Amino acid sequence: MAEKIIINDVGPRDGLQNQEKILSPEQRLSLINKLIEAGVRDIEVGAFVSPKAVPAMAGTDVVAAGLPKGDFGFSALIPNRKGYDLAKMAGINTMGLVIAASNTMNEKNVRMSTDQALLVCEDVLTQAKQDGMKVIAYVATAWECPFEGLTDEQVVIDIVGKLFSYGAQEVILADTIGAASPGQVKSLMSKLVAEYGAERLSCHFHDTRGMGVADVYAAVECGIRKFDASIGGLGGCPFAPGASGNVATEDVVLMLNQMGFDTGIDLAKLAEAADLAAELTGNCDGGNASRWIKRQIEKGELATAS
């Protein structure tokens, strides 16, 4: 039996939030459904944030209402209690709560210091526990901040510990600006795994410096078995200058499938989802392996990737 690795596709949120072209909830749902067809079970379907700040995420409640029923891990990003309440009202049951490891990033993102943002996290997590909601907590700029530079590992380790103590079911270490080398990933993740175990940890990488796939591999070597990735490599963060391109789901799935892990995802159908992402946004080149994947599909040879 192959060991499972869970892929959480964040394309419908992280991938779309910074696009010039704003998609309708129906278009967003069509992308989500295409991902589901490919075997993706965990999807970040949107965000409950200010529609003024991030207009592309307006209507996430409509997206939520249109989601298929079943055993899926649909999550939505929430920055605070208001986002939590809106997400809960929309019927979302996995909340993606975000805090940055860097003080300046928290100030820029949510106009709070890290300590203030931690209080918000505690409040949301306490409420979520009462409501029986699942919260997965993101630690943004876990390796480097565009404003403060390299992040102190101990700061991250402490924040992760606090999030768990507040009741987070899972913590996701996010390399928001795609700055981490696999060596840095190994360094931080091995410490976090030693401290908290691999089961409740996940990673989120961008391919800005061409190291996204290597970063995933480094984290796999540390025992991590859940990853964010974005269909077609869509992505970027409006508040993080220099952030561009999440690591592409197809690149990650190709590597993991080939390494013998069970992602449950069909690469040929995933390529169709990447095509749809390109068609909808007009701004998606696909992952680094997309040309190879397409050629294999044309030749009817995707054997090593199944």
CB of 69 to a copy of itself, least distance (A): 35
Nearer to a copy of itself by C-beta: 20 or 298? 298
**Angle between the 290-299 and 267-281 helix axes, to the nearest 10 degrees?**
120
Nearer to a copy of itself by C-beta: 174 or 255? 255
Please give the Cα distance from 283 to 253 (Å, whole number).
21
Nearer to a copy of itself by C-beta: 131 or 262? 262
Nearer to a copy of itself by C-beta: 199 or 221? 221
Q: Encoding tokens for residue 237? A: 């963060």
Count of Cβ atoms closer than 10 Å to residue 183 Cβ:
11
* Active-site choice (203, 222, 237, 284): 237
Would you tell me which residues interact with a copy of itself (CB under 8 A)?
144, 178-179, 181-184, 207-211, 213-214, 216-218, 221, 242, 244, 248, 251, 254-255, 258-260, 287-289, 291-292, 295, 304
DSSP 173-232: EE-TTS---HHHHHHHHHHHHHHH-STTEEEE-B-TTS-HHHHHHHHHHTT--EEEEBGG
CB of 177 to a copy of itself, least distance (A): 10
| Residue 203 falls in the annotated catalytic set | no
Counts for the chain of helices (H) and strands (E), in that order: 11, 10
CB of 187 to a copy of itself, least distance (A): 10
CB of 279 to a copy of itself, least distance (A): 22
Please give the Cα distance from 109 to 112 (Å, whole number).
8
For residue 126, give the H/E element and its range.
Answer: helix 114-131
Q: Kindly list the catalytic residues.
A: 237
